[in-house]
């Protein structure tokens, strides 16, 4: 591993650390809100408003994660203007199994953030009911799951 790859991985670790700190802060803040934070993960179905609360938290977290990755991505693409060899060295790191798994996570984040954002636009723009909003959220989750799994299969295919 050369110096530019080590520098890139160091930057990636900083980005992942920032995402982890932000996620912890958001989740602690949500837990202090007094409504609990099980979101249906504690062996029971989500309550009426919990699904929407989970979507709100996931939208914030995915937005920050996408922004953090975008900052790192701008820097790695900028390497091409410095040296094609440096750029190629960093791109080699993207082909490794751990980075491909992170790309799968990024794909799910982008799909959810986009789908939920479109849902929010529809809810605000057409003044839909709470029931319709929940139906749209469930549709977003299904579409994200299907497209995310299919996309992840393509991302991970070179490793098989």
Q: How many C-beta neighbours within 10 Å does residue 30 have?
A: 18
Q: Supply the pLDDT for residue 35.
A: 52
pLDDT averages per 10-residue partition of the chain, 160 residues? 86 90 85 56 52 89 93 88 89 91 96 96 88 92 97 95
The residues, any chain, with a CB within 8 Å of residue 49's CB and separated by 6 or more, are 35
Structure confidence by residue, pLDDT tens digits, 7-19: 888 988 998 899 9
Domain termination residue (choose one: 94, 115, 146): 94
Domain termination residue (choose one: 94, 116, 140): 94
Structural domain harbouring 76 = 1-94
pTM: 0.82
* Residue indicated by tokens 């958001």: 26
Domain termination residue (choose one: 59, 94, 129): 94
Q: Supply the pLDDT for residue 44.
A: 47
Q: How many C-beta neighbours within 10 Å does residue 41 have?
A: 10
Q: Are residues 101 and 84 in the same domain?
A: no
Q: Are residues 49 and 85 in the same domain?
A: yes
Q: Supply the pLDDT for residue 8.
A: 87
Q: Supply the pLDDT for residue 141.
A: 96
Q: Are residues 58 and 27 in the same domain?
A: yes
Q: How many C-beta neighbours within 10 Å does residue 77 have?
A: 12
Q: How many C-beta neighbours within 10 Å does residue 116 have?
A: 21
Q: Supply the pLDDT for residue 34.
A: 52
Q: Are residues 73 and 101 in the same domain?
A: no
Q: Are residues 35 and 46 in the same domain?
A: yes
The total of structural domains in the chain comes to: 2
Q: Are residues 101 and 67 in the same domain?
A: no
Q: Supply the pLDDT for residue 120.
A: 92
Q: Supply the pLDDT for residue 39.
A: 47
Q: Supply the pLDDT for residue 41.
A: 45
- Euclidean distance between the first and the last CA atom of the chain, given in angstroms as a whole number: 23
Q: Supply the pLDDT for residue 104.
A: 96
Q: Supply the pLDDT for residue 111.
A: 98
Q: How would you label 101-115 residue by residue, b for 16+ Cβ within 10 Å and e otherwise?
A: ebbbebbbbbbbbeb
Q: Supply the pLDDT for residue 42.
A: 46
């Amino acid at each position: 591993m050369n110096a530019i790859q080590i520098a890139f991985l160091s930057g990636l670790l900083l980005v992942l650390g920032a995402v982890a700190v932000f996620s912890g802060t958001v989740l602690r803040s949500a837990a202090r809100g007094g409504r609990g934070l099980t979101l249906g993960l504690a062996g029971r179905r989500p309550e009426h408003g919990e699904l929407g609360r989970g979507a709100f938290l996931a939208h914030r977290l995915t937005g920050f994660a996408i922004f953090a990755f975008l900052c790192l991505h701008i820097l790695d693409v900028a390497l091409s203007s410095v040296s094609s060899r440096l750029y190629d060295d960093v791109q080699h790191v993207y082909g490794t199994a751990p980075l491909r798994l992170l790309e799968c996570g990024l794909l799910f984040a982008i799909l959810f953030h986009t789908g939920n954002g479109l849902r929010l636009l529809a809810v605000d723009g057409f003044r839909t009911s709470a029931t319709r909003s929940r139906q749209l959220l469930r549709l977003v989750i299904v579409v994200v799951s299907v497209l995310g799994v299919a996309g992840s299969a393509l991302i991970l295919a070179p490793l098989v």
